[in-house]
Amino acid sequence: MSWHADRDFTVTISGGSVAGLCNAITLRKLGATVRVHERVPGPMMARGAGIVVQNELMGLLEQNGAGPLPFTSCRGRRYLNSDGGDGVLQEMPQEFTSWEAIQAALRAGVPNECYRAGSEVVTVSQTGSRVSATLGDGSVAESDLFVAADGSGSAIRRKMIPDVEARYAGYVAWRGTLDESNVPSDLLAFFDDRFTFSEARNGGHMLAYFIPGSDGAVAAGSRRLNWVWYVHVDPTELTNVLTDKNGIRHRSSLPRGTTPERIIADLKARALRNIHPKMAALVSETRDPFLQTILDVTVPKTLFGRVLLTGDAAFVVRPHTAGGTAKAAYEASVLARALKSARANVDVALQSTERLQLEYGNALYQYGLALGNRWSRERSTD
């Protein structure tokens, strides 16, 4: 039975990744009838990215009976000197996970009958308090609420706010992971039980930490060592770095396994010149580094009648805020609480949700901007 006073409350969600699943879990717990439509027909592609565990996500999982979420942990942070010194060690416990682990934990919390893979939302229209979503197969899904969680390139956002575009921040994130069994013993000892940071000599910033293995294993020997290096790339060079080994130009990222060998060789050479030797060794040991351009997306509103933007479909925040996944979980929890409090007054609940989304999203954007201005500046010519 729904919490809604009159009848079952129905929700259509576009997007079956983290934000969409967070909303599916919280709204189902509330009593809503939920259907998730994900355009990818099979399992979601593993992104291989490490993520710092945040309270918002853990709270959502625990409060809604989802999970468990596998994670690794460390006892301290190490701040390396750019001149090669081992720097300062600070006691500061931290927990880490991966995109795959989060996706798996959330997906396990949504029954198969509520999740439709290979189903793309093409258009949405509204009549009164009802939303009609036309799907790729021509069928129409009607509901009381439509949640657009279709990612940073959101088609729904483009339809609702066509003048909002992603803005390139001036730098990219090179990423890589190493299976623990393949990490040389000296590097394993150096990085184990540490969240390691280092400034690059030419500007930029690099960090490294252990995450669960590809199967979620967290025992020593089964983990992966994850690294991220933020590097300035001039806008005129984006076509070069976003063109894969098959000559295909990607929009904003190079997936794992597609980076041309010449780009990898250049990256490893730059690492030797510009970053701490231990960090450079991680880059050198990585066979298939992959790339993500750093983008900003901010929106003036998230609510359009009974259509609500959420997750990266609303604000895209920079990864070094460690806030993207936390924001998705926060927004899903806020929406569920607002609906529960307002009961039959859905529109009041949605307006309250939008207000909190805008406050949270803009605060994270400003935080990411401040970090990026500090970390992406060039100290010398590379």
> Can you give the length of the chain in residues?
382
pLDDT on residue 6:
60
Question: What burial class does residue 289 get, using C-beta atoms within 10 Å of its C-beta: 0-12 exposed, 13-18 middle, 19+ buried?
Answer: buried
d(CA 375, CA 362): 20
CATH topology match: 10-46+101-165+297-375 vs 72-99+167-295: no
Q: Are 228 and 267 in contact (CB under 8 A)?
A: no
d(CA 86, CA 300): 45
Q: Which of 53, 97, 54 is nearest to 210 (CA)?
A: 97
Q: Are 193 and 207 in contact (CB under 8 A)?
A: no
Residue stretches of the chain with pLDDT short of 70: 1-6, 45-48, 375-382
Q: Are 276 and 202 in contact (CB under 8 A)?
A: no
pLDDT on residue 15:
97
Q: Are 25 and 59 in contact (CB under 8 A)?
A: no
Q: Which of 202, 218, 201 is nearest to 210 (CA)?
A: 218
- DSSP codes, 135-150: ETTS-EEEESEEEE--
d(CA 289, CA 199): 19
The HSE-up count of residue 265 (CA atoms within 13 Å, CB side) is 3
Please report, as a single letter, which amino acid is at residue 36: V
**Largest Cα–Cα distance of the chain, in whole Å?**
67
Q: Are 61 and 69 in contact (CB under 8 A)?
A: yes
pLDDT on residue 44:
73
Hey, which bits of 221-287 come out as E strands?
Answer: 224-232, 253-254
Q: Are 89 and 77 in contact (CB under 8 A)?
A: yes
DSSP 249: B
Helix, strand, or coil (residue 324): helix
- Sketch the domain layout of the chain as residue ranges: 10-46+101-165+297-375, 72-99+167-295
d(CA 185, CA 15): 41
Structure tokens at 230: 């933020």
d(CA 168, CA 294): 6
Neighbouring residues of 177: CB distance < 8 A, sequence distance ≥ 6: 48, 50, 211, 224, 225, 226, 227, 286
pLDDT on residue 252:
93
DSSP 315: -
d(CA 242, CA 68): 36
Question: What burial class does residue 176 get, using C-beta atoms within 10 Å of its C-beta: 0-12 exposed, 13-18 middle, 19+ buried?
Answer: buried
- CA distance readout (Å), 280 to 37, 45, 251: 42, 28, 27
Neighbouring residues of 68: CB distance < 8 A, sequence distance ≥ 6: 61, 105
As a CATH number, domain 72-99+167-295 is: 3.30.9.60
pLDDT on residue 378:
47
Please report, as a single letter, which amino acid is at residue 370: A
pLDDT on residue 379:
47
Q: Are 291 and 156 in contact (CB under 8 A)?
A: no
As a CATH number, domain 10-46+101-165+297-375 is: 3.50.50.60
pTM of the entire predicted model: 0.93
Please report, as a single letter, which amino acid is at residue 340: K
